[in-house]
């Protein structure tokens, strides 16, 4: 592993978690849980949390909106 704090260092220490509750949009609950776990086991600390929205759901909604817009144009004209 790299001893420098570069891309490879960060990649080796990054977790990807799926299924975070919608109420925890900022990730505060997840951060608290992880910090508690790490403190109990003396592993380290949480540097940052980045929440990525479910883009596949957003894409499906956009497609449905476009279809409804097209259907509305057919009905009006």
Domain ranges of the chain: 7-76
What span, in angstroms and rounded, lies between the C-alpha atoms of 25 and 34? Answer: 16
pLDDT of amino acid 77: 66
Cα dihedral value 23, 16, 29, 21, nearest 10: 20
CB–CB of 49/31 below 8 Å? yes
Average pLDDT, the chain: 83
Q: Is the pLDDT of residue 24 over 60?
A: yes
User: Is the pLDDT at 30 greater than 80, yes or no?
Assistant: yes
Contacts of 23 (CB under 8 A, 6+ apart): 29
């Amino acid at each position: 592993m790299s001893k420098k704090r570069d891309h490879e260092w960060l990649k080796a220490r990054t977790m990807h978690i799926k299924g975070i509750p919608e109420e925890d949009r900022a990730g505060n609950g997840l951060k608290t849980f992880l910090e508690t776990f790490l403190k109990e086991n003396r592993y380290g600390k949480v540097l940052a949390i980045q929440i990525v929205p479910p883009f596949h759901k957003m894409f499906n909604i956009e497609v449905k909106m476009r279809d409804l817009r097209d259907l509305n144009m057919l009905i009006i004209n």
